[in-house]
Amino acid sequence: MNLNIFLKKNLKTKLMRGNYMALLIGVILCFNTQMSWSQQDSQYTQYMYNTLSINPAYAGSREGISILGLYRNQWVGLDGAPETQTFSIHAPIGEKIGLGFNIINDEIFISNETYFDINFSYKINLSVDGQLAFGLKAGGHLLDIDPSRANTGPFDKDDIFSTFNIDKKFSPQIGAGVYYYSSNFYLGFSVPNILTTKHFDDSGISDNSFNSVTAEERLHYNLITGYVFNLNNNLKFKPAALVKWVTGAPLQVDISANFLFNEKLTLGAAYRWDAALSALAGFQISDSLMIGFAYDRETTELKEFNDGTYEVFLRFDISSRRRMISPRFF
């Protein structure tokens, strides 16, 4: 069972009502039944602009140095809801090699997770327009769980829940990916982390009922694709999709459709299967600078307890050419 999905989908209404202790009891019950869980990777609506966080083979695929910062505030108005900050930078090194750096900070309820990695890609020219890149990434994951962040009301914070404290526990991560792209099409497959890590084996919980508690990260598989249709000289249409799969969790499918007007304004919509509808907008301020915004609205019962999800990104490109003929759409 995936604990993050369990927390997000089954117990978040308790957060809205201020019943933090009930949520903690729910976590205890999960642990007491000796079920293992796996971390769900950070979620993005504008994944088509944040591909380095998904696939290391994307490193260096743009025409120069590309810097991106992204902030996501999920389920606004819901105490303890996820917040994600992402920063990435990557560039081609010569004709064949790309290098990149990525850092993600993910906060949800009493947990704080930080991912950081270095990405390497090697590119092969398959045709005049088509290129195939193979990518590797290596980095680490820091897990911090602090029960004192919970508002337990009249309850004593020094009770049994404090035994779940984890202070920046480190685990290594190694990932791989492959990415094919041309001027109007891309397709990538990646495994962000091929290592499995157990987090709670040394939790220090003395009660025998919790001795077999484990929290295990499992393999995630990502498939991303998109195509750019040139409808006329001033309008482009790009459908895109991201499929994420992990053992023990439901298949996640994101489908989006963006329109680019006059190489400047991007408007679109997206649908996350059985989860949310989204509106997207972006503006190419200059050849180098782009800003994007997305708003998600849940299609589940959770929509009654929050004001939606907001996501904003800023991307800055330093082209290796004097001037790009047309800013890259992906």
Instruction: Report the alpha-carbon distance of residue 84 to residue 108 in Å, rounded.
Output: 9
- Tell me how far CA of residue 147 lies from CA of 106, 109, 135, in angstroms: 16, 9, 38
Whether the Cβ atoms of residue 37 and residue 216 lie closer than 8 Å to each other: yes
CA distance 141 to 93: 26
| Contact in structure between 268 and 280 (CB atoms under 8 Å) | yes
Decide: residue 325, CB within 10 A, 0-12 exposed, 13-18 middle, 19+ buried. exposed
Q: What is the DSSP letter of 296?
A: E
Give CA–CA dist 168/76, Å, rounded. 26
pLDDT at 307: 93
Maximum alpha-carbon separation in the chain: 69
Q: What is the pLDDT of residue 49?
A: 94
Contacts of 94 by beta carbon, 8 Å cutoff, 6+ apart = none
In whole angstroms, give the CA distance from residue 324 to residue 165.
Answer: 50
Residue with tokens 């695929």, as numbered in its chain: 61
| Residue 94, both tokens | 């010569």
Query: What would be the CATH architecture of the domain defined by 3-319?
Result: Beta Barrel (2.40)
Whole-angstrom Cα distance, residue 216 to residue 227? 36
Neighbour tally for 66: CB within 10 Å: 25
Sketch the domain layout of the chain as residue ranges. Answer: 3-319
Residues whose CB is less than 8 angstroms from the CB of residue 119 and which lie 6 or more positions away in sequence, other chains included: 52, 56, 58, 59, 90, 98, 99, 100, 101, 102, 135, 136, 137
Entry pTM: 0.81
Q: Are 313 and 49 in contact (CB under 8 A)?
A: yes
283 φ/ψ angles, rounded to the nearest 5 degrees: -140, 125
Write out the chain's pLDDT in tens, 330 residues: 333 444 444 444 344 344 444 344 334 433 333 333 344 678 899 999 999 999 999 999 988 999 999 999 999 988 888 999 999 999 999 999 999 999 999 998 888 999 999 999 999 999 988 999 999 999 999 998 887 776 655 545 555 455 567 878 899 999 999 999 998 999 999 999 998 766 554 544 444 444 444 456 678 899 999 999 999 999 999 999 999 998 778 899 999 999 999 999 999 999 999 999 999 999 999 989 999 999 999 999 888 889 999 999 999 999 765 444 455 667
CB atoms within 10 A of CB 40: 22
Task: Output the CA torsion sign for 267, 269, 270, 276.
Answer: positive
> What is the C-alpha separation between 326 and 316, in angstroms, rounded?
15
* pLDDT of amino acid 22: 39
Residue 179 burial by CB count (10 A; 0-12/13-18/19+): exposed, middle or buried?
A: buried
Q: What is the pLDDT of residue 206?
A: 44
* pLDDT at site 219: 85
